[in-house]
Amino acid sequence: MIKVGIIGANGYLGVELIRILSVHPEVKLSKIFQREMEIDEEFPHLQSLNLKDLQTSNLDDFKNLDCVFLSLPHGSAHEYVKELLSKVKIIDLSSDFRISNQEDYNKYYKTNFDAEIQSKFQYGFIEKSIDDIKKSSNISNPGCFALTAQLSLLPFQTIIKEVSITAITGSSGGGKNPSMKNHHSTRSKDIFSYNINSHRHLGEIYQSFPNLKESLSFVPLSGPFSRGIYLTSHIETIEDTTYESLNSSLVDCFKSSPFIRIQNNTKLSNVVGSNYCDISLSFKDNRHLVVEACLDNLVKGASGNAVECMNIIFDLDQTLGLEQMIPLYL
C-alpha cells in the first residue's frame, strides 16, 4: 500500500483528494495536515471516514510517507516542499511549480522563483508527457483552464494558425474563501468575463505550445453553476484539411488516454463528478474547425489528474481509484 498524506485538505481540492484516495485500493491515507479546524468538523460529510486520528500539525510526520499531495493557495507550497523534497514523492496542486521559465513565471505570478526547486518538478500534462511523468518524483499538477485548453489543442498543435478560446467555469474554481465573484447572490444568475488574454493559466498553455504565443486569444468566463468547465476552441489552420483527417488526428492522439472520450456532442453534466474529459469536433470548412471540451474542474481539472499522476509514477494502472467515479449527471 502507498502511504499518502495531504497538506491543504481543508479546501475544495483537498476534499476531492480525500474522496478519491479514501477508496483507492492501493492507497492508505495516513496523514492530514491540521489547520484551524478539524477536517470532519468543517466538512461533516467526511465523518464516516474517521479522519481525526490522521490529523497532525507536525510536518515531520509526513517525511516517512511515500507520497504527499499539496493542495495550498499559490505561494504557500515552497516552505513545505523545501522540507519534503527528496524525502517523499510530491504532487503539488498549486501553481507554484507549473512554469519552468523564470521570465514567463514572473509575468503571471508575483512570488519568488526558485530555479533549483522548479527544475525538480515535472508538469503533469499526462496526455502529452506521460513518459516523463513515469520517470519523475515530483509533479506540478496543471491548472484547470490550462488543462482543458491544452487537451482541445493537442491533436491539432502542428496545424494551428490562429485559435480563439472561450471557457466558462463554475464557482468552485474561485476556491472556498468567499468573495463577490463566488458569492451566491452575485453568481447564481449571472455570467461575466475576467482576465481576458491575461489569465495566469496562459503561461502553462504557452509553455506546452510556444508556437501559439502570438496567435491565441483566451476569454475566461464565470458561470452560474458550482463545478465544471466548458471550453470552445475556434481554430484556423495553416493549410487546407478535411474532416476525415482532423477526426483521425483526434482519435489517434487520445487512443491511449483512458479518461479522454471523443463524443459527437459534449455536455457538462456527462463529466461532472468524474475524471473524464469529453471532446467533440465540428468542421466548418477546410480551414476552420471548432473543438469543444468539458471536464470537472475539481476532478480531471485538479485532484483526479493528480491521483492519475500518482498512479503513473508508482507504476500502477492509470485508472486505479478513478474508474469507479462515474459522472453525477444531475
| Residue pair 43/69 in contact by the 8 Å Cβ criterion | no
Residue 282: helix, strand or coil by DSSP?
strand
- Phi and psi torsions of 129, nearest 5°: -135, 35
Question: Active site includes 144?
Answer: yes
**What are the grid coordinates assigned to 300, written together?**
480531471
For residue 183, the Cα-to-chain-centroid distance in whole angstroms is 23
| Catalytic residue chosen out of the listed positions 67, 144, 253, 277 | 144
CA distance 313 to 89: 9
DSSP 44: G
Q: Closest Cα partner for 61 from 41, 78, 82, 84? A: 84
Of 120, 144, 142, nearest in space to 129 by CA: 142
Q: Using CA atoms, how far apart are residues 157 and 1, in angstroms rounded to an integer?
A: 39
Report the C-alpha gap between 76 and 90 in whole angstroms: 14
Q: How many residues does the chain have?
A: 330
Active site residues: 144
